[in-house]
Amino acid sequence: AQPSAPQPIPAPLRDLQWGQLNFLHTTDTHGWLAGHLQEPFYSADWGDYVSFATRMREKAESEGRDLLLVDTGDRVEGNGLYDSSRPQGIYLSDILKQQHIDVLSSGNHELYKQNTSEAEFLTTVPNFRGNYLASNIDIIDPRTQELVPLAPRFKKFTTQKQGIRILAFGFLFDFTGNYKNTVVQPVEETIKEEWFQEAIQDRDVDLFLVVGHVPVRSKEYTVIFKEIRNVHWDTPIQFFGGHAHIRDYVKYDSKAYGLASGRFMETIGFISIDGLGTEKAGVAVAAPTFSRTYIDNNLFSFLHHADLDESRFHMEHGQNVSRMIEDARKALHLDIVHGCAPKDLWMTRVPYPSDKNIYSWLENEVLPDSLRDKSRHGTPALAIVNTGAIRFDIFKGPFTQDTTFIISPFTNGFRYIKDVPRETAERVLDVLNSQPRVLAVTQPGDDYRNELAPPIQRNRDHDMIATYNFVPEDKIKFEALLHQVPLSSEPSRPNILPGYMTRDDGGDDGDDTIHSPIPTFRVPNCIQASIQPDLDSTDSDVKREAVPAEPEKVDLVYVDFIERHMIEAAKFSGLDVDFKKESAVYMPGGRLTDLILTWVKENWKCVHE
Ligand SMILES: O=c1ccn([C@@H]2O[C@H](COP(=O)(O)O)[C@@H](O)[C@H]2O)c(=O)[nH]1
């Protein structure tokens, strides 16, 4: 773990159930390879994971079992270790490749920008020599300008110990926000292609392995499942998914399951399968059994599951990887303190709007204080930001260089349409917030396609007030509780602390660590800040009188990432503008991340005791 990481907290653990074939799974790590430096339950780093995977493989192999590692993408964007370097990610790929990963795939974040996908193609794909699969992604090779597969479409291999014959694919969901140097073919079309149809005709397969940056409950995985089942009515299929940032386990039928292993290096997913056929034995006679566990990413859990004490757990290689992370963090000055947060600010743990909600802070304080375009002096504005632009909570205490990118990693700036009737501008927000039904999302159950809200909310349509003695509507009691006791801890069981409590198709015994629940409240797709016109201090009284209390026309400002949604929302709101011709950059060079950082430096001075 990193030197500044908190010690893991001992907590009651559930044991793993090992099988013939076992997997460790990461997804949506988003650069968090240093682990969580303010949260003990997720404080292990990528170096610890290297040691853990090696020890688990040794343990499996000593018992004649196999262990494979899978990663399902979105390894980039979301943490200072990736986003704060120029160019971005110069340290990350060398650290990532220190782990032996047997099958990996691309996420959408690897494809938003040209330089990210090219780095993937020229560095990460070769780093993982044949293990990186891209069943539905092509890229324009920057050396030849030809459109080529990002990586091999599939691979077949046999496990070392058991001789299990595996046919593996690597998919991305039907993503449409990629930069134009890549092509993401819809999954529904890919599975009709000749190469896929030929591949699944193979009869000498003991397990189909579908890894992908695809929610495990999605139409994409449903069609892949059905297509394989059309040809193989009972061959076991294991899916690994991602993108939704949640822990989840889905049963497609009695021989096909899917696992999603959370986000941000909080979770190492574990799957075991028993009763598979093998190269020697041929087709299985027994029905396979599947088991899943979500391991909290900390050394207490790792030592327990590897069945080792600390002196025998750590490996020189793992410790070197931890040092690589430490050196990169130092080179990037990630521990520099820019200010001190006077309180915790939560994305979804408290209701929106409220005093401790990060979006309320953004719309009431940061944006009104910071967002100004000199050329629009004297014109009020309404500024719209998608809630998905904010990626993490702020904890009370030091706000570091790392925190800056953890909460706001993206390079998005602002654009605007000038002189919009205020009523119309306000209607645009209402339309954006009436998603997922109005815009972009076409089918019920398709909420994971909603690009505006935070990923964790995509699969949820209700608040989950998870503590034991209050109800969702009871906000007063909830606020009181927040101030009285550590959030959600149960007084009668002091070593049960707040964390993941997952209910999935396997029941509610999937989390390795027994936690008490954390409440989650829904937030809107977008928030809106009211920006008052800039007034000179000398003649402000005069000018204030000149500005009507409720001006008729405002600048409609929006974070540039949501432009395609603004275009649609404008149509529904009666705003007849051509965004291509009539929108312009607002506050040139003003990126959301920089506005937040400048505000923190000015407003959250650290008071040294
Ligand atoms: O430039 C960007 C890129 C992304 N977002 C937000 O992030 C999600 C996608 O993140 P996942 O981790 O893949 O879920 C996207 O839908 C936006 O909400 C952004 O705001 N700006």
Candidate from 412, 415, 447 with most ligand 1 atoms within 8 A of CB, to mutate: 412
Atom of ligand 1 nearest to the CA of 454: 18
| 239 CA → ligand 1 middle, Å | 24
Is the alpha carbon torsion for 249, 263, 27, 216 positive or negative? positive
- The residue whose CA has the least distance to atom 15 of ligand 1 is 451
**Same fold across 21-331 and 337-454+523-603:** no
Which tokens is 516 given?
A: 């008490």
Amino acid type, 300: F
Q: What is the DSSP string of 131-147?
A: -B--TTEEEE-TTT--E
- The residue whose CA has the least distance to atom 18 of ligand 1 is 388
Phi/psi of residue 354, each to 5°?
-165, 170
Distance CA(444)–CA(214), nearest Å, equals: 17
| 450 CA → ligand 1 middle, Å | 10
175: closest CA among 247, 83, 106? Answer: 106
CB atoms within 10 A of CB 436: 21
| 389 CA → ligand 1 middle, Å | 6
| 56 CA → ligand 1 middle, Å | 34
| 112 CA → ligand 1 middle, Å | 9
- The residue whose CA has the least distance to atom 3 of ligand 1 is 410
Kindly provide the b/e burial profile for residues 156-190, where b requires at least 16 CB atoms within 10 angstroms of the residue's own CB. Answer: ebebebbebbbbbbbbbbbbeebeebbebbebeeb
Atom of ligand 1 nearest to the CA of 107: 13
Contact criterion met (CB below 8 Å) for 557 and 416: yes
Distance CA(413)–CA(183), nearest Å, equals: 25
| 81 CA → ligand 1 middle, Å | 18
Contact criterion met (CB below 8 Å) for 168 and 133: yes
Contact criterion met (CB below 8 Å) for 265 and 29: yes
Q: What is the DSSP string of 185-226?
A: --HHHHTTSHHHHHHTT-S--SEEEEEEES-SSSHHHHHHHH
Atom of ligand 1 nearest to the CA of 388: 18
ipTM: 0.99
Atom of ligand 1 nearest to the CA of 108: 13
- The residue whose CA has the least distance to atom 1 of ligand 1 is 410
Phi/psi of residue 150, each to 5°?
-60, -35
Contact criterion met (CB below 8 Å) for 498 and 486: yes
- The predicted pLDDT at position 442 comes to 45
Give the 3-state secondary structure of 317-334.
HHHHHHHHHHHHHHHCCC
* CA 439 vs CA 248, 388, 436, 445, 565: distances in Å: 26, 16, 6, 14, 7
Strands 381-386 vs 553-559: parallel, antiparallel or unpaired: parallel
358: closest CA among 9, 596, 57, 27? Answer: 596
CB atoms within 10 A of CB 47: 28
Contact criterion met (CB below 8 Å) for 106 and 213: yes
| 413 CA → ligand 1 middle, Å | 14
Helix (H) or strand (E) holding 259: strand 256-261
Amino acid type, 216: V
Q: Place domain 21-331 in its CATH homologous superfamily.
A: Metallo-dependent phosphatases (3.60.21.10)
- The predicted pLDDT at position 285 comes to 72
Distance CA(125)–CA(151), nearest Å, equals: 7
Name the residue ranges covered by the structural domains of the chain: 21-331, 337-454+523-603
Distance CA(76)–CA(432), nearest Å, equals: 27
Atom of ligand 1 nearest to the CA of 244: 14
- The residue whose CA has the least distance to atom 10 of ligand 1 is 455
| 386 CA → ligand 1 middle, Å | 9
Which tokens is 562 given?
A: 């949501």
Is the alpha carbon torsion for 447, 453, 458, 461 positive or negative? negative
| 242 CA → ligand 1 middle, Å | 14
| 462 CA → ligand 1 middle, Å | 21
Give the helix, strand, coil percentages of the chain, each rounded to 5: 30, 20, 50
- The predicted pLDDT at position 490 comes to 55
Candidate from 109, 441, 563 with most ligand 1 atoms within 8 A of CB, to mutate: 109
| 114 CA → ligand 1 middle, Å | 16
Contact criterion met (CB below 8 Å) for 394 and 340: no
Distance CA(597)–CA(608), nearest Å, equals: 20
Atom of ligand 1 nearest to the CA of 263: 12
Tell me the CA end-to-end span of the chain in Å, nearest whole number: 29
Distance CA(88)–CA(83), nearest Å, equals: 5
> Rounded to 10 degrees, what is the CA torsion of 576, 582, 588, 594?
20
- The predicted pLDDT at position 441 comes to 44
Fold classification of 337-454+523-603 (topology level):
5'-nucleotidase;  domain 2 (3.90.780)
Which tokens is 539 given?
A: 């003649």
- The predicted pLDDT at position 550 comes to 58
Atom of ligand 1 nearest to the CA of 450: 16
DSSP single-letter state for residue 16: P
315: closest CA among 26, 6, 31, 58? Answer: 58
Distance CA(34)–CA(342), nearest Å, equals: 25
Binding pocket residue ranges, ligand 1, CB within 6 Å: 28, 74, 108-109, 112, 243, 386, 388-389, 410, 412, 451-452, 455, 561
CB atoms within 10 A of CB 85: 15
Rg, Å, the chain Cα set:
25
Candidate from 214, 263, 410 with most ligand 1 atoms within 8 A of CB, to mutate: 410
Candidate from 108, 411, 562 with most ligand 1 atoms within 8 A of CB, to mutate: 108
197: closest CA among 164, 172, 232? Answer: 232
Parts of the chain with a pLDDT under 50: 437-442, 444, 465-489, 537-544
DSSP single-letter state for residue 10: P
Atom of ligand 1 nearest to the CA of 411: 1
Distance CA(265)–CA(268), nearest Å, equals: 7
- The predicted pLDDT at position 495 comes to 78
| 188 CA → ligand 1 middle, Å | 23
- The residue whose CA has the least distance to atom 14 of ligand 1 is 455
| 562 CA → ligand 1 middle, Å | 10
- The residue whose CA has the least distance to atom 2 of ligand 1 is 410
| 390 CA → ligand 1 middle, Å | 9
Candidate from 79, 386, 446 with most ligand 1 atoms within 8 A of CB, to mutate: 386
Distance CA(418)–CA(584), nearest Å, equals: 9
